[in-house]
Structure formats: structure tokens, C-alpha cells
Chains A and B, each alone.
Chain A
Amino acid sequence: MTNNWVDLGFSTCFIVQGANPVENHPASIAHLNSARFDTNGRGRNAALVVIDPRQTRTARMIKAGYDSTNTNDMRKHDRFVRIRPGTNVAFNNGVLNSIITWMYANPTDQRSINFFAWHNGTADNSLATRAVTADDGLASSVAAWPKYCDTRLKTNATGTDYQRETVTGVNGKAISNFPVRAANIEDAECVFQRLKAHVAKYTAAITADICGCTEADIAAVRDAYIDNSRFASSDFGAAAMTQNAAGYRAACIMYAMGATQFTTGSQGVRGYAQIQTIMGNMGRAGGGINALRGIHNVQGSTDMGVLFDLIPGYSGNPGVGTTYPNYSNALFGNRVVGTTTNSPYVPANLGLQQRGFYNMTTAWFGEQQDAVDTYSSADFEALYACWPKGNGVQHIESFRRMCPTAAENPTAAYHYAPTAAAPRISACVVWGQNPAITEPNQSAVRTGLYNLDLLVVTDMFANETAQCSRKSTGVTYLLPACSHVEESGSVTSSGRWIQWRDRCRAPKDNSKSDLELLLKFAKALDGANAFSHIEARWATMTNKPVGSAYNVLYGKYGWDGTGSMEAISLPDAEGVTLKGSEHVAEQIFKEMCSPLNATTGIQGTLWIYSGNDTASAYNAATGDNNPAVGINWGKANRAKSRAGAYAQAGTSGQYARYGWAWLLNRRIFYNNSELAGDVNDVFVAPGFIARILTINTNTLADWSTLYRAYNTLADMPDVGTSTGMHVYPGRFPAYTEPYESPRPDLVTKWGKNTANGSALIFADSPVGAVADFPLVLTSIRCVEHFQGGPITRNNAWNVDAEPDPWIEINSADAIKYGIADGMWVNVITARGDSIHTQEALTAGGALAPVANWTKGFKARVGVGTLANQRVAPGTVAIPWHWGDRGLGVGARANDLCIDSWDANTMIPEFKACLCKIEKA
């Protein structure tokens, strides 16, 4: 989320596109309703626009009526727009085209006037002077620079990069390689005109055909955006937001897996960012784009870099052959290469992300020094050398790599031929996850799990992964975790708020906190000499850590790895006694969140949870700071701050003392210092501007004082520009069909997505054709169950509420396939069916199989007009929470789902594949 859950209450228009918050994020709905029904007495009412293949329960909230006499009642824009699964990008582009067309067609409308003034830099407060680094490595600045976005920057002919020039900074210094500004957005070479040309192909008629919606739908969504943009707001051009005024306008986008789980997921989200940026809704209270994340700490675990391509703080893995100075030079911070003044080995020279990486390197692989400059460059290099270099493998590939060779097991459903560069994965540790349910194309996943030599599972329940079928020599271990109230620590919500969890009691009986299990794990690994390569590095250092690897690297968190962790009882900074895991969690929090530039004690390791001086999330200065709101923090550990009363919301209305929000306690990203009471922010990209254009180079912006690397996306349609439909593919989001498409005619014309030409599926993955599988399958969730279900399917209350998985079908399809409501249905895709094909790979032997999960899905047939039912004809929806273990069992959606993936995030295309259905 660029904004946060509470901030939803400021919105004047909710565009819910690819989410179903009523069922999956219910807490948002009260904020949404408070904005819609004006419980705060602001004199305005927010619209709700739901764009989704299903008429979800969220969609059913529209049309609550509106007051036609109140010009600030936006509920007149309420609308449900049904689109075909996998057409988000086309819809976004269609709306963008419609918006741009409208702006040109209505030149005397104030909203159009404001739109062009804002983009042309002629509106008040639309330009700023920005700090840059000159060619000589010293500070300079550029005046009259766009404050918000790059629409006025010029691009080269193919749109692969901005045009570049050498400019002279305000102090006379040369700044080369700087993007070229056009006089206004009418310049044919500027980003705005390139975008206009790109989306011009998405006419209302073409978009409606692709998406299966009407042209009126597109116009209605356009109008909702225009009426709820910065350009329609009473504070347009003002230096500060008036987020409580009746005439204030800001639309927000709420999205979740319904936007991301496609081969084009990243481009769909980028499209949201483009629309919201173009409409001036970024950095606004009630605006922004808001990812509604699925699991309570998915934000935090992503922040921690538990991904194949990241380390904590969204830094990439140091690359193979990347030197430390070059690695550091590409992080958010200061130029440290090609300048004589900034050595990256002197921590004081480093900017936020750079310093966090420096501190993390010393804290993770060695010992931090009390004074900041203690390590010599050679000693630091010894620690940098400990970082694993290069990325791991993405999740879908990892299961393929577990599979046997054809020679080893000729009858296996999937085979893998190891290479030197891509060896077999022979061991797997699964900590609090259930891939035997959650991964697509389970046939391949279970083949891989079956073939592992070693599988270790840590969970609260004996889930499907722990009890999957295993080869005769495969060894499986299961370790008992505890519930959330038995362990302490911080968690980070989707809105980036970090809250502390108390340890309410010790873990029950033999279950253990994750922290105790992990430290025991580290201790055991040390006992097996797993860290000897690090100790070998230490031996080469002048200022070398002394002690065992466990004691140096892990003992500092407060437990020696023997005896009972729960016996620990020590006070925190305020003198409150912390027991067991709460003490250990506090030590790790302190290491992550202390000031980056602390001159004594710990220097924070996680730059996004930290900051310099009093800005950090763990800080001894507990007064009224960061920002000053008239309330003291009172707690060194900011996550424990609980100023949550209505009266403590502050002038920003953002509860700046309830928990702590990264970065630097900002509640709304990119607010451009326009929201009083929030911590100032800018667009943290090269040039301080949101980038509409995806450039094709990742060369560094040496002049940038923020992020120094341009990020690129890998998306490229496989038909290129040859069919005349794609104008600047890869530069702006380009619609392509899902890997299994019901519209071969559109595949021919628009193609499928690739990662710079590489297919987003493995060659051995079955792919069905519409002739054999005439229906589109999309996977869904319900409020009673959670993700892969290992928690809720073991809770009697949840199982009682929703005992069996179901299929939602339109009455027209029900008649066609002879299915009555309540009947069991077998759903079949190219990868498997819901009754037969996977049984052999589910636990056998002494782990008796559970038969109930082979019943298929229970039919829920729509009632009413064809158009007004949950799903449209030709589409079926199934929940994916079920599996073969637990109190409640049922057919697995992921036996069916395709294992194609997004070109950038590798998230599978769970939301669109082809199927057929039969009576079970």
C-alpha cells in the first residue's frame, strides 16, 4: 500500500479491481463505508467501482443510493464492471485512452485545464528545485523540475530511454546524462505523447471486445476517475491537502491477487500506478494504489527479503562478480564510484540503503564495531565475500529441480536433468508454509517433494506438505511451532504499519516459538560446521571476530542455544520485563531498527525500518518527534506505541503514534510534503518523479541522490509490434492473453507475454486448448478459510462454516453440462482433475490417505438473469483453500491451476486457465 488501511476513510472513490475485500480484507470495509456514508460529517460520499470477473460480495455493495442534490456525493459513480479473467491490462489501457481522449475533447472544462496545467508544469506547486550530484561528485541542484511525474520528459524514437543531455546545475556544475524536458506535453517526443500513442489502440470497442464489458463501462470508469482526481479537487494547486473538505477528491485503487496472479500481473499493477499518477492521485490522502496483501505478515516477510532475488530491505542479492563498491553504488544513497570524495568503506559516506547494507553485512557475517569506522576496507571485503552471490531460483522452478531424471524414475510425472549451473535440489526446508497446496500444477510439485532426500517441515499442524508421499529413502522431519499469542515480535501490515505482539503466555507444552526453533537450528548448523566458510574469512581479517560462529552471529540475540529460551526474563528500555521469545525478538528488532548512523551501540541493519538519528523505529529519544504531533512516543521500540484513540489521529488523520510505518514513519508515500502532520516524502526514484515510462536500460543515474538504478520490467508480447496492435510494448503495459486462453483470435493479434522473449512456463507443463477445455477457471477465496487452509481447516468453527470446496457456475453452463445446484462436480484441466489423477501422489503407506478430498467441488449454480449472477457464462470459480489433510478436506484447486508465471514476480497465473466440468 502506498497509503494505509485507516487512510481509506479519506477516499472519495474506491476502484476495487482484482480484490474482494468484503471477504478477504473485511477490516477495510468499515473505512470504506465511513467514506461512503460520511460518518465523519465531511459532506461528501465516496463512490465504489468494482471491476472483476465475479460479481463478488464487494460488488454487491454498489448502488446504495445517492443524493443527487449534493455535488459531493460521488456514489452516482457506483458501478460493477465484469471483465474476463486476464484482461486487466487491456481494461487499464482502455480507460487511460478514454481519459486522455476526454481531456482533449473538453478543453474548457476546469478538470481538463487543471490536467494539462499540472502536467505542463504551469500549475501552482507543480515544479520544484531538486538536489542532484554533479559530474564531479559534488552537490548541485536543478530548478523548475517536474514535481510528480515524467510525462514531460522526452524519449528516444523507440521509447527505450529518455533523451539525455548535459545540463548545468544552479551552482554552475555540469550534470551529464540528464533527462531532457520538453516545453510541454504536446511535444511529440515526450512520454505523455508516447503513452497516448500506445493506448490509442485500445479504443472503447476493442477494449470492450477483449474484456467482455461494454463501452459504457469504460466511459463510466473514466468519469469516476476524472471526477475523483486531483484535477477535480477543491485544493488543486494548493501547497497542502485539504483532506477533510467536502470538495476534496482522491480516488484510490484497491487490488489483490485478482490483479497480480497473471502472466501480466506486474504490468497490471503498473497500469494502476500510471492511471493514479496521471490523475494526480498518488501521495494524496485517500488516494494511492493499495495492495491488499493476503497474509498478516506478507509485507514483513517481503521486507525481510525471504525471496529468491532479494535480501532484507529490497536490496538485490549481491551479483556474481559484483564488487562491493559497484554494488553499493547502485543502492539508494550516494554516488560512491567515480568520485574521489566518497569511499564506500567509510560508513558516514553512505546513504540510507547503502548504510543499511553495510551495517547488515557486519552484523550478519561478523561483529559490528562500536565506533563506526573501525573495519578496514580489507576486513570489510572479507565480510562482503560471505554474502552468497547471485539469485536463487524461483519457486516453480525449484520444485522441478527436485524431480528425478528419466533414468532414475521413468514413470515419474515430471523429470529434471541436472546441469552444473542448475543442479538438483535434494533437500528442502519448509518453515510455516504448505506448498503441497499452494503451488500450481501440483502434479509437478508433488513429484518434486516425493523425490527429495530430505524434507523438513515446521508448522502448527501436520499439514499436507509434512505428510506428502515420499520415496522410500526420503527422510521427513516435522517440528512443532506455536500460535501467534505464544510468541512475541513485530508484524508489518499491508499499510506498512509495524505493530508489536505481546507474548501472552509460553508456547503450549512441546510447541516452540519460531525464534527458539530457528536459534536451535542455527546452533545445530554450527555444530555441523555449516558456517566454516565464514570462519575461514574471519581468519584472514585483522580485526577478527572471536568465538564460535553461533556465539558471534546468533548468541547476541540473547540466548546461548541451550536450556530453555522461555526461562529468559530481562527488562526492555522502559523497564518492562520481557520473557523468553519477547526478549529475543526485542534484540533482533533493536538490531534491525536502531539508527543507521548510531555512534555508540547497534547500527541498524534494515534501512527501511530504520533511518538516521531519531527517525529510526528503535530509538532512545522517546519524545515528540518524527513527526511532531503533540504526543511523545514513550517507547524506544516504536512498534509498541499505541496512541490509537480517535483524538490521537493527528492533523493528518493518520495516527502517527500508532505503531511505526516504514519508511521513516511515513503514513502516505510520495506525499510531496503536502500532508500536514505526516513525514515528508517525494517520489523516491531517479529525478524525484514517478516514472510512467519503463525504460530499457538499467544503467545508473549517477546524478541521482535517491535511487540510482532504473528498474526495468521484462514483459514483452511474443507477437511484438508485428500485428500492429502493440506500439511501445515493454515501455508501457501491453495486454496479452493468459497462457491458456479462450480467445485464440486475440492470441494471434495481441500474443502472450514473455520475459524478454522467454516463455513464462516450462516446456513440460501441459497447456490445454479451448476446443478441449471450453471454460475459464479462476481461483477464489472466502472469508471463512485462509490461504492453503492448514490453519482454518483445522479449526472446527471454520470447517463447520464452510466444510467443502465448491464451484460457482452460471446457470447457463449448469444447464449445458447437466449440473444441478448441490451436485458434486469434477473439474478437469490439462494438468489433472479433481477426483482421480493425484491420488497416487498423496500420502500412502502408513500415512493412510484421506478419501474425502476426492469428491470434487460442490456446485453453486447462479440464480437470476445471466448477467446478474456471480460468474458469467463461460467462467467457473473455485476456492483453493482445500487439501487432503486436516479436519476439513476437499479437492485441491492447484491440481488444476496452470504453472505459468508473471514475467517479473514469478507469481503463477492462478486466476486464469482453461477447464471442463463433468458430473462427479
Chain B
Amino acid sequence: MATRDQDSGGKFQLSRRDFVKVGAAAAAAGAVGVDWAVAPSRANAADVAHTYSTTCPYCSAQCGQQVDVAADGTVLDIYGDPNNPTSRGGLCAKGAGAYQLVTNERRIGVSEHTAAVDGFDFTGQAWKRVGDSAWTAMTLDAAMTEIAPKLVAARGPVADADTLYDLFTAGDVVDEVTYTGFSGLTTIKLADGSYMVATNGNKATPTELAVLAAGLPGSAAAYVAAFDGLVFKATDPAWKASYTFVGRSDLGAKMLAAGVFANTADIVVDAGVYYAYVVAVTGEMHVLTSPDMLVWTYDAPLGKPASVGTMTSPTVLKSGANLKVWYVDIVAQKLQYASFDGSAWSAATNVTVGGSDPIWFVGHPVVSATSAEYTLYYVLGSGGIKKAIAPVATPAVFAAATNVYDGAAKSEGNVSLAASGICFSTYAQPDDDDIGWAYSDIKGLAFSNNNNARTVMFFGSSHMNNEPNNLYRKIIATFGTSLTEHQARI
């Protein structure tokens, strides 16, 4: 590097000092010549027992390097490899100094390192410090043995959505449920031939509303006004003959006010709303209510169903053998599952749920204009599903109350609650459309932490060979996380 710009009639000139410093790079760069600057080995030929081939550890040109090694393994010199088509034996100021990288007394773990070199004697195998106190040396095995459990503790258990049904065991009874909030508008064909409409408000498209309005009383505008966390159910198989609203009283009143329903008899008030939601083993979303065996599926990458009426259970539940779909039986107040053999649903089976371990999940509030609100629920023993706390803007802190997460770190069953937050999340994919949000929420409900230990970050390195990089990425994946970055994209 020139000490400063030298303007010499438009021609760049190198001082001798510059040339010495920059070495081959400058020789190649100067407009005066095009030859490679090749420096042969400085090793005494008689001392060289082996000459190996490697590549320069600096930039991504990967110039070839030859390494002369003595019989005892001492590296005698590292110099350019003329057989390498990229570099033809040339090395720059960094690459030409690679020998010093190997023999460097400042390397940790080598015998040349002393306290005089770098302020601490790093000749050992591994080192540890607490806070800013001094380093202490330890064996590599001891360091690994200490590090691994700390990482596992920081990570917590790895759970994923598919294990939902494994978590429920015999004996539990559901006594309170809330639903996750259907985002977007869809129609559901019931097993008995009736239809259900679900929405949480303003996300229905005009087209969808028009389709619905064609089959439901009232205008599309009325539904826009009224569809706010509501669920309609057409109880008559012909589905145009009569309608009943099932939902919270305030929402029922809203329906009446909007003129969607004419009579209070059409409104069935219930404090919870109860359309269940759960994930099948294929990962497709299946929403069922009981006793009607409603099925709402969303095949995420393929988009919403083209039109009402084409969506039937067998056509959408097209993949996966021995599907089990979990749902909450509102009437019986039980967790149940039904199984699907590829063409038909078997009868729902009550599940006995229980055990002493609480199972936590996060669901959306009944009425939610945004997906940023959360409600914390749990299942504990025979107490059924409890609401731990009302919707809050952020779930960072849950207030103290009965059956409420107290903020302390705990690990019970397959779910752990870290002191710094809940280990699972309702991670949502912003690229997904409205239904995709609901889908992601349901994953959260399934006690998922997205399979992701989101509390341990791994930084990798572009300095490593491919094999350790591949191994590192594999360790991160098997550890259960995708929190990884290497030297920022270069």
C-alpha cells in the first residue's frame, strides 16, 4: 500500500519500499509487466522430506501453495505452486507470508506461546474465564464436557408440531378452549353436507365475499361489517335454508345489528368459540369441529381453493397414510382425533388426556385484527385446557395469577419455559397469505418451537474447509436449530 497517493503525470509508480511490501501483487499489478512473480522455496533442499500441495488461506482466488516439510514435520517453507492455473506460482503479500501463520508464536495451543507473547500463557488445550476474570487452562475434554450441557440447557427441548398428539395422554378433559382465529375467509364443507364460513374480518377478498353472498342472506357489505371473528354454521344440509350463529354474545349482537340474522333465536351464545384446529401428520392444516366433522384444509403452497364447493375432504386430504387429525370436541369437551385412510374418515375417537405435565401453547385471541396478539393456554392434568392469560399485545411477560406462567424458567414434559421467554413461538411466515398465518399459528399451538432452538446462535466461518463447514452445519441442524451465519455474505 502506498503511503499516500503519488500523482506522477498520471502514471502510478511504486517505491522500492512499496514493492518489497506488496511483493508479487504489485509486480503483477504494475502496467509494466505481466509475468507472475514466482519466489522459489527458501528451504534447504536437503532438509525437505516431503512437499505437499495446498491452497492459500486468504482470498478466494485460492492460489496454489507448495509446502516443504522436514522429516520431523517441521514446516520449512510455503511458496507458490507453478502448476496452479490460477496463480502460476505467484503469491501476494499475505499469501507469501503464510509460512509465518504456521510458525506463529502467537497461536494458541502451541508450545512457543508464552505469557510474554500475548499477556497470557495459551500453551494449554482449552481455556475458560468467568466474567472478565483471568483465563484458566483446562483440558479440551473437560471444556467440551462443560460446554455441551450448557448449550442444551440454553436450547431447551426440541419439540415440533407433529408431536402434538403424542403429548396428550389418557385422562384429560377439556373444559375451556379458544380458537386461534381464522385469518381470512373460507368456506368449509361439513361432513354432514352443511357449510361453515369463518373469517376474522377485513381480510376477505371481494371475490370471496361475492361467492359467499350468493349463498348466504344479506349483502357482501354486511358481511364485511359483521365478519369479525365470527363463525357461521349452516346447519341444514341444504345450507341455504337456515343459519345459526354460534359465538360470543357481543358478536352475536353485532350480527343482529348488521342484519345478517333477523332473530335472536338464530344466535346461540357461548362464551368460548370453539372451532378446533390442529395439524395432521402431513403438515397440512385440518380444522375440525365436532360433532360435524368439519374439515378445513389449506394446502399452503398451492393457494386457496378455487371456489366454494370444490373443497371436499377427500380431495384436499390427499397425502399421508393413517392421518390422524386432532380436534376439540366442543360438545363433549374432549380432545379427540379422527383418522383418515385416504378416502374416508373413521369415527372420531375420544382421547384421554392427562398426566402431571403441563402442556403450553399459544393461540390467538378470539377477536384479533392483528396477529401480534397472543393468548397463553395450557393443559394440566385433568384440569383441561386453561387460559392462562387474556390476550396481550406482547407475550413477553405474563402477569401473575392462578395457572399463569410466572416468568421463571421451568421445564416440564416436552415443553420448557425459559426465564427469558417462552421457548416455543407462534412463528409466522410473512410471505404467507392470510390463511398461512393461521396455519403457522396452529403450528404454535402444537407446542412447537418451530423445531428451532432459538436461543443459541452459531457463527461459522469462511476460513474453514468444506468438510468441517458441512459437518458444522449438520451439527447445527441435528442440534435442532437454524440459527446460523458465517462471515457475513461476502
Q: Is the CB of B54 within 8 A of A398?
A: no
Which among A55, A533, A698, A796 has the highest number of chain B CB atoms within 10 Å? A533
Q: Is the CB of B31 within 8 A of A61?
A: yes
Kindly report which residue of chain A lies nearest to residue B12, judged by CB atoms.
A60
Of B233-241, B245-253, B481-489, which binds chain A? B481-489
Q: Is the interface of A mostly helix, strand, loop or mixed?
A: loop
Q: Does A492 reach chain B (CB closer than 8 Å)? A: yes
Q: How many residues of B contact A (CB 8 A)?
A: 176
Q: Does B67 reach chain A (CB closer than 8 Å)? A: yes
Which among A293, A388, A423, A796 has the highest number of chain B CB atoms within 10 Å? A388
Determine which of A61, A294, A300, A699 lies in contact with B12 in the assembled complex, contact meaning CB atoms within 8 Å.
A61
With known contacts A501-B465, A786-B94, A791-B101, A387–B451 Cβ distance under 8 A? yes
Q: Is the CB of B29 within 8 A of A485?
A: no
Q: Is the CB of B108 within 8 A of A642?
A: no
Kindly report which residue of chain B lies nearest to residue A493, judged by CB atoms.
B62
Of B304-312, B348-356, B420-428, which binds chain A? B420-428
Q: Is the CB of B59 within 8 A of A485?
A: no
Determine which of A6, A453, A523, A785 lies in contact with B154 in the assembled complex, contact meaning CB atoms within 8 Å.
A453
Cα of A25 to Cα of B25 in the assembled complex, Å: 9
Q: Is the CB of B34 within 8 A of A37?
A: yes
Shortest CB-to-CB span from B57 to chain A, Å, is 4
Q: Is the CB of A23 within 8 A of B25?
A: yes
Q: Is the CB of A521 within 8 A of B94?
A: no
Of B123-131, B180-188, B215-223, B224-232, which binds chain A? B123-131
Within 8 A of B (CB), among A668-722: 698-700
Q: Is the CB of B150 within 8 A of A427?
A: yes
Chain B positions 1 through 28: 1 when the CB is less than 8 Å from some CB of chain A, otherwise 0: 1111111001010000000011011001
Residues on B with C-beta less than 8 A from A645 are 83
Chain B positions 81 through 99: 1 when the CB is less than 8 Å from some CB of chain A, otherwise 0: 0011111101011100110
With known contacts A477-B143, A493-B60, A905-B489, A26–B29 Cβ distance under 8 A? yes
Residues on B with C-beta less than 8 A from A432 are 460-461, 463-464
Q: Is the CB of B135 within 8 A of A514?
A: no
Q: Is the CB of B458 within 8 A of A429?
A: yes
Residues on B with C-beta less than 8 A from A845 are 131-134
Chain B positions 401 through 443: 1 when the CB is less than 8 Å from some CB of chain A, otherwise 0: 0000000000000000010111111111101000000011011
Q: Is the CB of A25 within 8 A of B61?
A: yes
Cα of A142 to Cα of B102 in the assembled complex, Å: 58
Cα of A502 to Cα of B67 in the assembled complex, Å: 9
Determine which of A534, A699, A868 lies in contact with B7 in the assembled complex, contact meaning CB atoms within 8 Å.
A868
Kindly report which residue of chain A lies nearest to residue B126, judged by CB atoms.
A479
With known contacts A320-B450, A392-B484, A419-B394, A531–B301 Cβ distance under 8 A? no
Cα of A461 to Cα of B104 in the assembled complex, Å: 10
Of B167-175, B266-274, B467-475, which binds chain A? B467-475
Residues on A with C-beta less than 8 A from B300 are 321-322, 326
Determine which of B21, B85, B459 lies in contact with A784 in the assembled complex, contact meaning CB atoms within 8 Å.
B21
With known contacts A24-B59, A420-B426, A511–B107 Cβ distance under 8 A? yes
Q: Does A861 reach chain B (CB closer than 8 Å)? A: yes
Q: Does B345 reach chain A (CB closer than 8 Å)? A: no
Q: Is the CB of A423 within 8 A of B482?
A: no
Kindly report which residue of chain A lies nearest to residue B63, judged by CB atoms.
A27
Q: Does A305 reach chain B (CB closer than 8 Å)? A: yes
Q: Does A907 reach chain B (CB closer than 8 Å)? A: yes
Chain A positions 324 through 354: 1 when the CB is less than 8 Å from some CB of chain B, otherwise 0: 1110011000000110000000000000000
Q: Does B396 reach chain A (CB closer than 8 Å)? A: yes
Residues on B with C-beta less than 8 A from A478 are 108, 122, 126-128, 135
Q: Is the CB of A23 within 8 A of B1?
A: yes
Within 8 A of A (CB), among B279-298: 279, 281-285
Cα of A296 to Cα of B54 in the assembled complex, Å: 12
Q: Does B100 reach chain A (CB closer than 8 Å)? A: yes
Q: Is the CB of B423 within 8 A of A423?
A: yes
Cα of A649 to Cα of B134 in the assembled complex, Å: 56
Determine which of A378, A785, A865, A906 lies in contact with B321 in the assembled complex, contact meaning CB atoms within 8 Å.
A378
Cα of A442 to Cα of B159 in the assembled complex, Å: 34
Q: Is the CB of A307 within 8 A of B485?
A: yes
Q: Is the CB of A296 within 8 A of B467?
A: no
With known contacts A294-B490, A848-B119, A483–B131 Cβ distance under 8 A? no
Q: Is the CB of A394 within 8 A of B108?
A: no
What are 7 A-B pairs at a CB distance below 8 A? A34-B34, A298-B486, A301-B487, A306-B484, A430-B459, A462-B120, A868-B10
